[in-house]
Amino acid sequence: MNSNFRPFGLLIASIFLTFFLTGCAVQNQLLRNAGDLLSKEMASTEEDLELLMHASAYHLKVSETLLQEIPDHVKLSESVTRGFTQYAFVFLMDEADRKESESIQIASQLRVRAAKMLMRAKSHGLNTLSIKYQSLAASLQNTSQSQTPTISPDDVGLAYWTMTSWAGAISLSKDSPDIVADLPQVLKLAQLAWQAHPQFDHGALASMMGTLELAKPGGKVAIAEKYFDLGIQWRKDQIAPLVSKAENWAVATQDQKAFTELLNLAIENGKDKTDLTNTVMVRRARWLLTVTDNLF
């Protein structure tokens, strides 16, 4: 994940806006203005992850409440979908991996929470996409002969976070056949995003395409590697694609040498960066190195 959480210092202004609503047209415009405000992405250099966790939860609840009033607001929906997805990965799934050696029960509880949060993110994202692209749901489900819609490059962010949350929920729901059966829909949505803007978020989409290639039945590791390498090529100052290739492709191919080299490179490249994504990815890379023997 290459996008950052946003701080919530501007929330009060958006809350006050909702208290001064008059006519329907004015109300809608004020709500949309508040949505614009809440959806603005700002880099966070907060090093206290617990503090950031509580701040992010508050921001998410306010944003989600507003989105329910204006579900067609693409940028707000992207912000909410991204926020729930990042929260699930950073504060629940990553923590579950760390806790598993101490308590399988605690790790399981964290993953159950993460799965629910990811499904929540997917529902918000897919709902907004379906409002804007009315044939999308039928196309993903292949229940009609309607033409597959073309997603605008401006909406690839929403599609990316929707498919990422959806794929994450599937990975945590192996005992739920109905959820696992949605994988073909995730793959179709991923292809639509890829066709619209393959370099989205400095390699984040490319890395996700690699992960999905490995996850799908009959997926080919050579194709997955090409996606991961594109993600690394496009990453700019982000180390997440390096960690993603190590954790997914290197483990899948049992290439321990590549695994170690990729993670050490990620740590080296990320050691002087203070943004949240790189900070979290450095921590993830260091932890992965400690469990190498369990993975190979």
Pairwise CA distance, residues 171 & 129, whole Å: 22
- Position 143 confidence tier, pLDDT thresholds 50, 70, 90: low
Q: Where does 70-171 have alpha helices with state H? A: 74-87, 94-99, 104-132, 136-141, 156-171
> Hunting for tokens 């609840």 — which residue is that?
61
Q: Is residue 282 part of a domain?
A: yes
Query: What is the SS3 assignment for 237-259?
Result: CCCHHHHHHHHHHHHHCCCHHHH
Q: Is residue 126 part of a domain?
A: no
SS3 at position 6: coil
Pairwise CA distance, residues 270 & 172, whole Å: 28
Q: Is residue 64 part of a domain?
A: no
DSSP-derived secondary structure for 161-215 = HHHHHHHHHHHT-TT-HHHHTTHHHHHHHHHHHHHH-TTGGGGHHHHHHHHHHHH
Residue 264's nearest CA partner among 280, 278, 246, 252 is 246
Among 26-30, 159-163, 192-196, 257-261, the range scoring the smallest mean pLDDT is 26-30
- Domain residues for the domain of 266 are 198-296
Number of domains in the chain: 1
Amino acid letter, 216: K
CB-CB contact of 180 with 187 (8 Å): no
- Residue 8 confidence (pLDDT) above 50: no
Q: Is residue 185 part of a domain?
A: no
> Hunting for tokens 């993110």 — which residue is that?
121
Q: Is residue 251 part of a domain?
A: yes
- Residue 144 confidence (pLDDT) above 70: no
Residues 12-26 pLDDT 10s: 445 554 554 445 666
